[in-house]
């Protein structure tokens, strides 16, 4: 399913003169099926408000634009939001804070029961088991534990299992690696790619981490003041370095390192702001800096 937003705007507390906040302004954005899409931008730029529209958690205000997701027209009064939510999974920042059930099994089962109440007991069990295994946990070892007994990384995986249990086509994650240590972060990103190679067709991540989006996303957009100010491949977006800095954002660290090698050793590489470009630049520098 493709996501198309047209002139999407949003105002918090629209009726209050003093409190009204224009969080989104005329956002026109297309996210294609198959994208591993990154959303970056300063705090308060509208990223979370935007993604919460995508499964109808925030309803489009009258006259404030359109969203089409596959055949779902989110402005249509007859739009089936329940069905939409089973296809567009939403993982909030610190999803482990939303675990609530007595056992891991019950937590993961909650969403499936809600979306597919007609499932038989054994079908439910098997769906829960599949979801838990998909996020890389051992079902029998974990299903009867309290979510509160688990490690931070395990909790986050359980929370994701609850979301992917309905096999969403689109998975939206708001700051998915916030608070994880480097190892946890790496494993988590691998999980996202595994899901993307499996039934999740489109992944959308909101992130402060420029390295993360440079390494993993095929397309990214930059929010600023509620508007989308840039969209393209990470390379296209980060090449306009001045613009990124003007928006108060950092470039991926590889951008600075590769630039330093250019200044000091005269090494020129086709920089796409990934670790690979940097490694290529280092190899050239070690060979004496001459460009071949
Ligand atoms: P981001 O996720 O990029 O940090 P948000 O979408 O959370 O940005 O916020 C966009 C703007 O809307 C900010 O000015 C923020 O203060 C405001 N905002 C966000 N949530 C609310 C809310 N529940 N009530 C009022 N204003 C809000
Ligand atoms: Mg946010």
Q: What is the pLDDT of residues 249-286, one digit of tens each?
A: 888 888 888 888 888 888 888 888 888 888 888 888 88
Q: In this predicted model, what pLDDT tens digit does every residue of 18-65 receive, in sequence order?
A: 999 999 999 999 999 999 999 999 999 999 999 999 999 999 999 999
Ion ligand 2: protein residues whose beta carbon lies under 5 Å: 48
Q: Residue 75 has what pLDDT? A: 96
Which tens digit of pLDDT belongs to each residue from 180-224? 888 889 999 999 999 999 999 999 999 988 999 999 999 999 999
Q: What spacing in Å lies between the alpha carbon of 14 and ligand 1's midpoint?
A: 13
Give me the residue label for tokens 């992944």: 203
| Joined tokens for residue 265 | 């050793």
Is residue 159 predicted with pLDDT exceeding 80?
A: yes
Instruction: Enumerate the H helices of the chain as residue ranges.
Output: 47-53, 81-87, 104-115, 121-134, 139-142, 152-164, 182-196, 210-216, 234-239, 241-246, 253-265, 275-286
- CA-closest residue to ligand 1 atom 15: 44
What is the pLDDT at residue 146? 96
pLDDT, average across residues 80-99: 92
What proportion of the chain, given as a percentage, has pLDDT over 90? 69
Report the pLDDT averaged over residues 98-127: 93
Q: Is 43 in the pocket of ligand 1 (CB under 6 A)?
A: yes
Question: Is the model's pTM score more than 0.85?
Answer: yes
The residue to which tokens 């007609």 are assigned: 118
User: Which residue from 12, 16, 22, 204 has its CB within 8 A of the most atoms of ligand 1, so it is best to mutate?
Assistant: 12
pLDDT score at 243: 81
The SS3 of residue 90 is strand
Asked whether 41 lines ligand 1 (CB < 6 A), one says yes
What backbone phi and psi angles, to 5 degrees, belong to 28? Answer: -115, 110
Q: Say which ligand is closest to the CA of 24.
A: 1
Confidence of residue 145 (pLDDT cuts 50, 70, 90): very high
| Residue range 144-168: mean pLDDT, rounded | 92
Q: Is 47 in the pocket of ligand 1 (CB under 6 A)?
A: yes
Ligand 1 pocket: which of 11, 20, 24, 46 to mutate (most atoms within 8 A of CB)? 46
pLDDT at 141 over 80: yes
Strand-by-strand arrangement of the 3-12 sheet: 21-31, 3-12, 66-69, 72-73
Split at pLDDT 50, 70, 90, the class of 292 is low
Measure the CA–CA gap between 43 and 115, rounded to whole angstroms. Answer: 33
Nearest CA to ligand 1 atom 25: 12
Strand-pairing partners, residue 41, are: 223
- Mark 172-199 as b/e (b = at least 16 C-beta within 10 Å): bbbbbbeebeeebbeebbebbeebbeee
Split at pLDDT 50, 70, 90, the class of 290 is low
């Amino acid at each position: 399913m493709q996501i198309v937003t047209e002139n999407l705007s949003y105002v918090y507390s629209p009726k209050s003169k003093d409190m009204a906040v224009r969080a989104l302004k005329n956002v026109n954005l297309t996210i294609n099926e198959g994208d591993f899409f990154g959303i970056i931008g300063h705090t308060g730029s509208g990223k979370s408000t935007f993604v919460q529209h995508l499964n109808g958690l925030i309803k489009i205000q009258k006259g404030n634009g359109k969203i089409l997701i596959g055949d779902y027209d989110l402005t249509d009064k007859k739009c089936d939001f329940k069905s939409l939510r089973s296809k567009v999974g939403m993982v909030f920042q610190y999803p482990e804070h939303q675990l609530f059930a007595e056992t891991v099994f019950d937590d993961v089962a909650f969403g499936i029961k809600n979306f597919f109440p007609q499932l038989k007991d054994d079908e439910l069990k098997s769906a829960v088991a599949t979801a838990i295994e998909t996020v890389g946990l051992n079902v029998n070892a974990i299903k009867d534990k309290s979510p509160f007994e688990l490690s931070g990384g395990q909790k986050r995986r359980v929370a994701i299992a609850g979301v992917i249990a309905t096999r969403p086509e689109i998975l939206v994650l708001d700051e998915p690696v916030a608070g994880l240590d480097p190892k946890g972060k790496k494993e988590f990103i691998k999980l996202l790619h595994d899901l993307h190679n499996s039934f999740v067709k489109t992944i959308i991540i909101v992130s402060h981490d420029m390295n993360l989006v440079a390494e993993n996303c095929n397309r990214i957009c930059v929010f600023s003041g509620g508007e989308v100010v840039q969209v393209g491949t990470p390379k296209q977006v980060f090449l306009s370095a001045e613009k990124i800095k003007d928006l108060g954002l950092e470039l991926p660290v590889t951008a600075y390192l590769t630039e330093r090698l250019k200044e000091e050793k005269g090494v020129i590489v086709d920089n796409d702001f990934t670790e690979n470009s940097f490694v290529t630049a280092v190899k050239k520098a070690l060979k004496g800096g001459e460009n071949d």
